[in-house]
Amino acid sequence: MRNQPAVVLLVEDEPAHAEIVRRHFAERHPASRLRHVSDGQAALDYLYRRECHRQPERSPRPDLILLDLRLPRVDGLEVLKTVKDDPDLRQIPVVVLSTSAAEADLVNAYRHHANSYLVKPVDFAHFTALLDALCGYWLTFNTAPRGA
């Protein structure tokens, strides 16, 4: 269990999906600090504190990354691979949150050390139930070291 609010980086290019996640966090986990970027390059810039994310107080190290796979500029699998290949970032749990249920995507995500792979339900009620379960586990019950 956490003593401090979690920082969650949402990497999601679909505005409707990002809004569902944002509202869920605002309503159910208001102490958490959700940061949102809409493409893979922006995610890497955030994680490596480049471009508009240079200031650590504006881009705190996330405790959890929620990562879509189909992203503009840099693909989600490439973001995952980069994070898990970097000794300074690899301890951050990465949960793939994708509309794809394709076996190849699942295999590739785990091959690149995803901590979890969740398929976004089409139904709003099921999507929010999935977010409840995800947040319950990763933000409430899971114990992990704080990011650097």
Q: What is the pLDDT of residues 56-101, one digit of tens each?
A: 888 899 999 999 999 999 999 999 999 999 999 999 999 999 999 9
pTM comes to: 0.92
The C-alpha angle with vertex 108 and arms to 12 and 22, in degrees rounded to 5, equals 15
Residue extents of the structural domains in the chain? 7-141
What is the phi/psi pair of residue 67, to 5°?
-125, 120
Task: Pick the closest to residue 17 from 76, 73, 105 (CA basis).
Answer: 76
Task: Pick the closest to residue 12 from 93, 92, 85, 72 (CA basis).
Answer: 72
Band of pLDDT at residue 3, cut at 50, 70 and 90: low
CATH class of 7-141: alpha beta
